Chains A and B, each alone.
Chain A
């Protein structure tokens, strides 16, 4: 496998970075980087770490980084989690209020401990902490419950002072969304499976409305809704399927859609194959809608979606 860290890869311009990923030869990993500057979304680091965890550290080759920003990669714990030595010394900053380093989470108990410790670290207002904690919990639990990956979830996050935003990335190298969704639905492609998973009440564990006693199929819909209401980017990539919720301008009043097709988005079903699932999200703290107001909109959209889905299954009268 080969992966190249460009000078810039955030959710708005992440597509070329993903297209450049070479998944062939999955027993080795070659990491290269722009030699002048590296400025990347946390999801990029989560992806590289997740890939690295699938292979022996001795089979990871990392180009000698020239960019000053290599210190950032070290500080985020990338080299440490990959089990490779960085060839330079760096000054370790106090992480409080700035970032959550690359972290591997494999069990439900580890996740609860991580969230408990993470919220005070980010020094957020209580409403903002609720939103970030919610996102991390739902995404990581999806991995623990559905991905069937022995490596669990790999996640990291970064606070950006200039935009007053938090960017979160989570990656796994599990079975991917299509395999999970296809236990109950017939998604022909990875992209189709991704779009099904984004709809409220759709879960791979059952076709029954309301889900099973442990799964409702609502987690990803909630997270897309949080991004949508806050006019932020949200990216989900699994197999060759890629869906990106595009940023809305402040002139457009955000509206929640149960069907991801109706959101302003870009998509592709021809990305290099990722064995597992990647999710990246940006949360602008300046305009974070109060969480309880967001829930009103979710409740309405969810209910309407269920009614429409039920109605679509009604038998129709045969007029002859």
Chain B
């Protein structure tokens, strides 16, 4: 089980897409390649932009399909973050 703390990397306002890209390439994709499950922990993240979540997740969903969401859990998300994630996950599966 791989745990990734988003606050530690992006702060309370997760908006830097370069950081999201680095997390995706250096942590999420390698963990999935090793068949590991992943917890993305959003504790203390007050808001995230759609661009940040897109850079974090879109390529993962495109590469592995919607089924990859069975292997990724989102922990401690507030309502705003949950909804932004929901929007990105939706349109990537349309």
A residues engaging B (CB < 8 A)?
108-109, 111-112, 115-116, 119, 126, 130, 133-134, 137-138, 141, 200-201, 209-211, 213-216, 218-219, 222, 291-292, 295-296, 298-299, 302-303, 306-307, 310
Task: Kindly state the separation between the CA atoms of A137 and B21 in the bound complex, as whole angstroms.
Answer: 16
Using C-beta atoms within 8 Å of the partner chain, give the interface range for chain B. Answer: 20 to 34
Task: Kindly state the separation between the CA atoms of A296 and B82 in the bound complex, as whole angstroms.
Answer: 11
Task: Kindly state the separation between the CA atoms of A245 and B18 in the bound complex, as whole angstroms.
Answer: 31
Q: Is B67 an interface residue (CB 8 A)?
A: no
For residue A207, give the distance in angstroms from its CB to the closest CB of chain B.
15
Task: Kindly state the separation between the CA atoms of A219 and B88 in the bound complex, as whole angstroms.
Answer: 12
- A295 x B55 contact (CB < 8 A): no
B residues engaging A (CB < 8 A)?
11, 13, 15-18, 21, 24, 46-47, 49-51, 54-55, 58-59, 62, 79-80, 83-84, 86-88, 90-92, 94
Q: Give the residues in chain A near B21, CB-CB below 8 Å.
A: 213-214
Q: Give the residues in chain B near A219, CB-CB below 8 Å.
A: 50-51
- Extra contacts, 10 of them, besides A134-B49, A213-B59 (Cβ < 8 A), are A108-B16, A111-B15, A133-B47, A200-B91, A210-B62, A213-B62, A214-B17, A216-B91, A295-B84, A299-B90
- From B21, B46, B87, name the one whose CB has the most chain A CB atoms within 10 angstroms: B87
Also in contact, A295 and B51, with CB within 8 A (given A115-B15, A141-B17):
no
Q: Give the residues in chain B near A141, CB-CB below 8 Å.
A: 15, 17, 51
Q: Give the residues in chain B near A222, CB-CB below 8 Å.
A: 50
- A302 x B13 contact (CB < 8 A): no
- B94 x A310 contact (CB < 8 A): yes
Task: Kindly state the separation between the CA atoms of A214 and B24 in the bound complex, as whole angstroms.
Answer: 11
- A303 x B91 contact (CB < 8 A): yes
User: Can you name the residue of chain B whose Cβ is closest to the Cβ of A145?
Assistant: B17
For residue A125, give the distance in angstroms from its CB to the closest CB of chain B.
12
